[in-house]
Amino acid sequence: MSHTTENRQHIVGSTGAGGYLAGVRDVVVLELKQRLRSRGWYIMLAIWFVLTGLVTWLTWASWNASQAAQREFPGYVQPPESGPGSMIFEVVLAFVLLFALLVAPALSANAVNGDRAGGTLAILQVTLLQPGQILWGKFFAAWAAALAFLVASTPFLVIGVALGGMTPGHVLVALLMLALEVGVVCAIGVGISALAGRPLFSIVVTYLAVAGLAIGTLIAFGLGTGLTQGTIMANQAQYRSFEPPSNGPVEPGYTCSGPLQEQSIMRTERVAWLLAMNPYVVVADAIPYPDRTGQEGFRSVGAIESISQGARNALAGPEGTYPCANGEVKPQYLAQSTPLWPLGLGLQLLLAALLMWLGWRSLRTPAHRLARGTRIA
């Protein structure tokens, strides 16, 4: 037995990097062939395309209805470069990211233990394939299957460019960030699938992990801000009277006067890293929006841009957002000078890498300990 094991390790080790990648490729091809044989995958893809198209049409119809209602008011002036493109882009982007976070776990959370339950994983393990090749092959296959849904939604994001208000760069950055987020979720699902003994358990845990990133980070940030009480020196803000909207530069909404006094505030910058892990924050903060500092346009920012602004306000802390902090007028719109998304994406990748590494350890053979009821072959 030991001679056979040593011979197997020698053959695998002699293949080098090219042989390792070839093994990963073989697993990917095998996984994709199994998925493409399934009729359910094509049905899900068709439903995804129809739903995304329906959301796009409803958004366009809603924009037209709102514009028709605004034209009835006397003195209405249509803003320059007004069009439904920006609204359609942001709504479709939020919809695609939401359903990508729902679909990706279903495509990856049973990639390993599903084969273990079916008795086919042991067939791969007795070949010359290494545990890392099996795990990476499962991951890339799940990622490729999930990216097909992203490709199906691309035409509706392009509509935002065609209808004005967006540029091709917005679509390219959005697609890249969406692909990375889908890859992170697939890595989390495959890692948990290799660790868990039952497919149902791994699917539930993966969905809980995704919910923790999308919702749990908001809860943790909200609770964490309550533990960051602090003080700051600020004077009184004297707000101006209401002024009608204009398309040019506008004056600040208030002035600062009086002596500086100590004010109680929350140091949100200390827990902003929790908010950075949210997938919506990562995608929204990476999109290069135009600088609206000193313009009236900040009042009409979309939902995705508002998410980016909220995260940047949390990162800036009271020094950059609290009215009259240190006797200075603070901008209502924060420029994208310090990006927050690299921190969030880095933390997500760290979590995914940890789960993949633990999954790799669980796939090593011979296994010294197995969970009760685990199927060998």
Q: Which residue has the higher pLDDT, 47 or 235?
A: 47
In this model, does residue 103 exceed pLDDT 90?
A: no
Characterize 289-307 residue by residue with b for buried, 16 or more Cβ atoms within 10 angstroms of its Cβ, and e for exposed: beebeeebbbeebbebbeb
Segment 111-140, tens digit of pLDDT = 888 777 777 777 777 777 888 888 899 999
Segment 256-269, tens digit of pLDDT = 877 888 888 888 88
Residue 347's pLDDT band, with cuts at 50, 70 and 90, is very high
Q: Which residue has the higher pLDDT, 240 or 160?
A: 160
Sign of CA dihedral 313, 316, 318, 319: negative
User: What pLDDT score was predicted for residue 296?
Assistant: 47
Characterize 26-38 residue by residue with b for buried, 16 or more Cβ atoms within 10 angstroms of its Cβ, and e for exposed: bbbeebbeebeee
Mean pLDDT value across residues 1-25: 58
Amino acid at 154: T
Residue ranges of the domains in the chain? 2-70+81-212+346-363
Q: Which residue has the higher pLDDT, 106 or 79?
A: 106
In this model, does residue 50 exceed pLDDT 50?
A: yes
Residue among 43, 210, 201 nearest 112 (CA): 201
User: What pLDDT score was predicted for residue 375?
Assistant: 56
Mean pLDDT value across residues 180-186: 94
Task: Give me the percent of the chain exceeding a pLDDT of 90.
Answer: 18
Least-confidence region, from 123-132, 299-308, 334-343, 351-360: 299-308
